[in-house]
């Protein structure tokens, strides 16, 4: 390309940018079109990119997504193009959501995550669509107040926000190999800085409980199906029928953030696979699923400390359920999951009914 041609295209781009800046979108678009019609290969990415920006500013969201998708695919390493495509997808999703086209909105948000797995707003937008009611920590707090556990066990303490919900006289046991405690605990607490598998091998839990009933447990450790299943098996051995085991991250948002190997910023892992496994092989359990933001809670009761079903079938169950896909989850979510409205009155009623 001749230097004079490069200089001309550069000046045209600056002119278009100036027109966009002052809000003269019509003239900016006409100038873009005139260049693209004459020579699609002459810095077509930059001109088509600007046409996409103009289309987006004109609130033609779907058309903007189409244009910017073409630009991004033609220039996959261009960060600027991918960022603006993500922005267009988010705006298109918000527009669809406002107009009641929820499936369309979900597709736009999920495409945004595909383009940028570390995008923060796209998972939050999905959670806002599919979750309702109080944040999961508030629900867990209500469970504490209602259950009044003599002893509480938590796997996956992290920064301690959930452990700090326990109040006297509850005795707490926390398990996390690398805790990052940011808040004070409010009741007698023992923290074990080891992996959960090691805890159940090396520690004498009945001695730690010292005659107290394990009335409540929260499992929020490693976000893989097989680990959560092992954690559930190990915890249930010390439960009574009215103990509540609460699982976090039961309702995934999309395929990327629910992948078993972490490839995104927001990550729930494939924890959700525990639920269909329990539903199939432990029908004696009562399972209640709450769409609590940001990724759901599962409440399990009618526990049986003597059951060997899961322990004896562990390898078989892991092989059977590990390969389930997010698409299969969507197929069974509404038909098989016992979803309960996220308000305490409904949750309390379900727990009482389950125990009865």
The torsion angles phi and psi of 135, rounded to 5 degrees, stand at: -60, 150
Domains held by the chain: number: 2
Q: Are residues 116 and 144 in the same domain?
A: no
Q: Express as a percent the part of the chain with pLDDT over 70.
A: 97
pTM: 0.89
Tell me, yes or no, whether 193 and 245 share the same domain: yes
**Regions of the chain where pLDDT drops below 70:** 1-6, 39-44
236: domain CATH number?
A: 3.40.50.150
Give me the pLDDT at residue 76, please.
87
Question: Is there a single domain that holds both residue 118 and residue 144?
Answer: no
CA separation for the pair 264, 256 (Å, rounded):
7
Identify whether residues 189 and 76 lie together within a single domain.
no
Confidence at residue 37, expressed as pLDDT on a 0 to 100 scale: 79
Judgement on whether residues 110 and 233 belong to the same structural domain of the protein: no
| CA separation for the pair 281, 285 (Å, rounded) | 9
Distance CA 54, CA 28 (A): 8
Q: 236 and 293 share a domain?
A: yes
Q: Where in the sequence is the domain holding 80, given as residue range(s)? A: 3-128
Quote the CA–CA distance of 81 and 190 in Å, as a whole number: 51
CATH of the domain at 21: 1.25.40.10
250 and 123 belong to one structural domain: no
pLDDT of residue 1: 45
Backbone phi, psi, residue 247, to 5°? -110, 135
- Closest by Cα among 56, 5, 11, 51 to 28: 51
Q: Judge if 165 and 274 occupy the same domain.
A: yes
351 phi, psi to nearest 5 deg: -65, -45
Q: Would you call 119 helix, strand, or coil by DSSP?
A: coil
Check whether residue 111 and residue 216 sit in a common domain.
no
Q: Give the per-residue pLDDT at 41.
A: 60
Question: Do 87 and 169 lie in a common domain?
Answer: no
Q: What is the pLDDT of residue 204?
A: 97
The answer for residues whose C-beta is within 8 angstroms of residue 322's C-beta and 6 or more apart is 225, 226, 260, 270, 273
Q: Given this model, what pLDDT does residue 44 score?
A: 60
């Amino acid at each position: 390309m001749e230097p004079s041609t490069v200089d001309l295209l550069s000046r045209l781009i600056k002119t278009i940018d100036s027109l966009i800046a002052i809000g003269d979108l019509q003239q900016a678009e006409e100038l873009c079109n005139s260049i693209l019609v004459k020579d699609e290969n002459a810095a077509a990415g930059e001109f088509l990119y600007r046409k996409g920006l103009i289309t987006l500013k004109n609130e033609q969201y779907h058309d903007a997504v189409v244009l910017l998708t073409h630009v991004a695919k033609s220039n996959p390493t261009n960060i600027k193009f991918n960022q603006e495509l993500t922005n267009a997808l988010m705006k298109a999703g918000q527009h669809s959501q406002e107009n009641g086209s929820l499936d369309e909105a979900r597709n736009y948000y999920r495409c945004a995550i595909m383009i940028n797995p570390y995008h923060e707003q796209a998972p939050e937008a999905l959670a806002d669509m599919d979750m309702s009611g109080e944040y999961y920590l508030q629900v867990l707090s209500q469970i504490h107040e209602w259950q009044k556990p003599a002893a509480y066990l938590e796997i996956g303490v992290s920064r301690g926000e959930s452990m700090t919900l326990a109040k006297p006289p509850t005795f707490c046991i926390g398990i996390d190999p690398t805790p990052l405690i940011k808040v004070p605990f409010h009741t007698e607490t023992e923290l074990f800085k080891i992996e959960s598998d090691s805890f159940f091998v090396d520690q004498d839990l009945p001695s730690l409980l010292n005659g107290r009933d394990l009335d409540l447990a929260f499992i929020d450790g490693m976000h893989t199906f097989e680990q959560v299943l092992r954690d559930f098996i190990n915890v249930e051995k010390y439960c009574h029928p009215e103990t509540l085991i609460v699982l976090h991250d039961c309702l995934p948002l999309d395929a990327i953030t629910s992948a078993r190997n972490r490839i995104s910023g927001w990550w729930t892992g494939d924890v959700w696979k525990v639920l269909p496994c329990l539903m199939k092989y432990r029908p004696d359990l009562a399972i209640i699923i709450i769409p609590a933001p940001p990724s759901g809670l599962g409440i399990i009761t009618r526990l049986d400390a003597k059951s060997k079903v899961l322990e004896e079938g562990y390898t078989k169950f892991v092989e059977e359920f590990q390969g389930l896909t997010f698409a299969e989850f969507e197929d069974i979510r509404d038909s098989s999951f016992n979803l309960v409205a996220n308000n305490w009155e409904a949750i309390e009623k379900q727990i009482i009914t389950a125990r009865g």
